[in-house]
Amino acid sequence: MDYGMTVKLPTPFADAVKQVRAALKEQGFGVLTEIDVRATLREKIGAEMEDYLILGACNPALAHRALQADRRIGLLLPCNVVVRVEGEETIVEVLDAQVMVSVAGEPTLQSVADEATRRLTLALDALRP
């Protein structure tokens, strides 16, 4: 099962992170959480890995609609966006919002997922070279 949407960028990691934040903001998403996986694993268990950042993106209007449809949907929020290095490229991956509908099984979430997918796709498209 493919559960994400991906774009590969020929852009340095730090620049890509800035571009991702701007593209999300343009589509009404704010970043609520930020997890630097590389730093966390180094600090907690001494493991080394490539740059890997998880951004918890939220569009307040869409989150409100989703919570109105199903209070338990908070288990699947916010929309996670991963920015990571793979070889010479920076990979940006966004959770496919349709997963929310399939996991929750709540038909009233479909319109929310459709709108989130549309906006997240536009954000990814804005990053493409």
Looking at residue 104, its pLDDT comes to 86
The CATH number of whichever domain residue 26 belongs to comes to 3.30.310.70
Cβ–Cβ under 8 Å, residues 120 and 114: no
Q: Could you give the CA distance from residue 1 to residue 21 in angstroms, rounded to a whole number?
A: 27
Residue 22 clears pLDDT 90, i.e. is over it: yes
Describe the crossing of helices 60-69 and 110-127 by its angle, rounded to 10 degrees. Answer: 150
Count of domains in the chain?
Answer: 1
Mean pLDDT, residues 21-44 = 98
Q: Could you give the CA distance from residue 38 to residue 40 in angstroms, rounded to a whole number?
A: 6
Query: Tokens 């704010």 appear where?
Result: 30
Instruction: Evaluate if pTM is beyond 0.85.
Output: yes
DSSP E strand stretches across the chain: 4-9, 30-36, 52-58, 79-86, 89-95
Q: How confident is the model over 96-128, as pLDDT tens digits?
A: 999 888 888 888 999 999 999 999 999 999 999
Q: How confident is the model over 56-99, as pLDDT tens digits?
A: 999 999 999 999 999 999 999 999 999 999 999 999 999 999 98
Q: Which helix (H) or strand (E) holds 78?
A: none
Q: Phi and psi of 59, rounded to 5°?
A: -105, 110
Looking at residue 105, its pLDDT comes to 86
Q: Residue 67, Cβ neighbours under 10 Å: how many? A: 14
Closest CA to 109 of 95, 118, 99, 119: 99
Print the domain residue range for 64. 4-127
